Structure formats: C-alpha cells, structure tokens
Amino acid sequence: MHSDIANYIPRGAKNISPHGIQVGLVTSDQIGGSNVLKPNEFSVRSASVHDAMIMESIEREAFPELIPLSRISRDITRDNGLYLNAVRKWRPSEKKLKSRLMIATQAEKEDPRLSAKLKRSINRYFLDYINPPRLPPDYIAGFVGLWFVLDEAHVIVIGLRGVDRRKGVGELLFISALEQALANNSKVVSLEVRRSNDVAIELYRKYGFQKVGLRIRYYSDNGEDAVIMTTPPIQSDDFKDHLFSLTQQHAEKWGWAVRPGYSGH
C-alpha cells in the first residue's frame, strides 16, 4: 500500500463518500464553495525513505523521552502502514544550511557541552563536505504515522518540530490521517496517548475521539499510563459531517492545504 510517490492514495479509494467528505481529487473551490481560500504554506505528502533521517530528528525533538527510537525507515515501507509528512518549500536562508545542522534537533543545536560543540564543528567543517547528508526536496515540519489493521486504523505517532507547533500543522496532519482512514474503508480510528499529554488529548477530542480505557504503566521511561482513545464509526454521516466542518474551519483559518486526495486551486 505504501509508496514513495507523493500524494499516493492508499488502496486506490477515490470519491468514496457522498456525504460531506470526498476523497479523491477535490479542489479548494469544491470545499469552500464559491469562496476561494488562501493557500496554506504547508501541504501533506506521503513520506519516502529519503525523508527518514529528518523524520528521525523530528521524532527525537517531539519525543525526547523515547529510547530507543522507533525505526522510521523500516516502518515507512510497511505494507499496512502510511506515513504522511507536513512540508513546505525550503526558505533560501535554510537552503544555504543544507547540512547536518538542519537535521539536528533544537536541543542538539544548542547543547552547550564541549563534546557537543566539538561534534558540531566536525560536522560543519569536515563531514558536511566529504559526505553531505541527502536532504528531502522540501522542509518537513512533522509527520503522522498510521497502521491499518483489519477494519481499524491506528495512529501510531504524530509529532512536530517545536518551532512549527501551534500553527495548525499538527491538525492538518491529523485531518489528512483521518481522510486516509476513510479512504481505506477503516471503520474506526484508535490511538494511545500519555495521560499527561493534554495538548494532544485536546486535539483528539476535537476530532471526536473518546477515552475508552487505560494501559497501566504503558510507557517504560516513567511508568506513565496510556489513555486509549477511539472515534465513533468514521463512515457514519455524523462523523464525516464533523470532520468536514472542522476541515473547512481549518482551511478558513490557516489556508487551503494540498494533501493526498485533495489537489490545489
């Protein structure tokens, strides 16, 4: 199911839903009626193996407590998995920096220890020249990962770089993930989240997820419980209407974002 081609629609489902949400090549005109929405700087595309190095750095930044890290490069190619990236064009100032510094997390860039400073210098003056990392064609702000198991879609991860939070990008990724779950004919979407992660829980609640259980001491770093959250049946008209309305509000606030199944203007 997974592909390196940007904007691949898993399992080929198109225009599956007559009620509210359409999954196919839909334009902003169709969503916004006659009001053409301003474009969002960010868009969503499928992740490719070439993105893995940057995605792993985003993962280190979004989940500093996660040891060991997940194996994104392996997971991207899973048959029943889908990773979506929120991307924008590189800014000219960033392009000049195409180096290991771009891959580093904020904490790694600012680490004041002598060993960290030495490592940054070796990277900058030596490794970047002899073996420059291959960077993706666009700037990646964050990603969401989904697994499709039987008739359920499971959100395994969603995370952004610190500088890109609170700008509607996490919500954009979440919308796109739900659209793909619909396109895959999943019946429900589920996830686990740390009990203390109020920000993420707010986002999930907004999209109709409800707490249905706990996994006691699920996280090994601090023994925190995981809250299990699931949607109501996503193929129901109520859910699609809710998603459609939130998607429209998001586009009005942040601009229309190109994403798998949804073309540009």
Ligand X SMILES: CC(C)(COP(=O)(O)OP(=O)(O)OC[C@H]1O[C@@H](n2cnc3c(N)ncnc32)[C@H](O)[C@@H]1OP(=O)(O)O)[C@@H](O)C(=O)NCCC(=O)NCCS
Residues in touch with ligand X (CB under 6 A): 62, 142, 157-160, 165-171, 193, 197, 199-200, 202-203, 206
In what order do the strands lie in the sheet containing 226-230?
Answer: 43-46, 81-88, 139-149, 152-160, 188-194, 226-230, 210-215
Task: Based on the residue annotation, tell me whether 204 is a catalytic residue of this protein.
Answer: yes
Which residues 6+ apart lie within 8 Å of 261 measured at CB?
7, 9, 14, 23, 24, 25, 26, 179, 180, 183
Ranked by CB distance to ligand X, the top (closest) residue is 170
Closest contact distance (angstroms) between CB of 164 and ligand X is 7
Residue of 41, 108, 152, 192 with catalytic role: 192
Closest contact distance (angstroms) between CB of 80 and ligand X is 19
Closest C-alpha to 251, from 239, 265, 236, 237: 265
Residue 153: CB atoms within 10 A of its CB come to 27
Residue of 83, 139, 204, 262 with catalytic role: 204
How far apart (Å, rounded) are the C-alpha atoms in residues 48 and 138?
12
Residue closer to ligand X by CB (options 7, 70) is: 70
180 and 260 Cβ atoms separated by less than 8 Å: yes
Closest contact distance (angstroms) between CB of 35 and ligand X is 20
Closest contact distance (angstroms) between CB of 76 and ligand X is 17
3-state SS assignment for residue 212: strand
Which residues 6+ apart lie within 8 Å of 48 measured at CB?
4, 6, 76, 136
Residue closer to ligand X by CB (options 17, 148) is: 148
How far apart (Å, rounded) are the C-alpha atoms in residues 198 and 74?
30
Residue closer to ligand X by CB (options 28, 40) is: 40
Closest contact distance (angstroms) between CB of 249 and ligand X is 8
How far apart (Å, rounded) are the C-alpha atoms in residues 120 and 127?
10
Name the maximum alpha-carbon separation found in the chain: 60
Residue closer to ligand X by CB (options 189, 193) is: 193
Residue closer to ligand X by CB (options 158, 183) is: 158
Q: Hey, which bits of 167-207 come out as E strands?
A: 188-194
Residue closer to ligand X by CB (options 47, 158) is: 158
How far apart (Å, rounded) are the C-alpha atoms in residues 192 and 212?
10
Closest contact distance (angstroms) between CB of 191 and ligand X is 7
- Residues annotated catalytic, as ranges: 192, 204
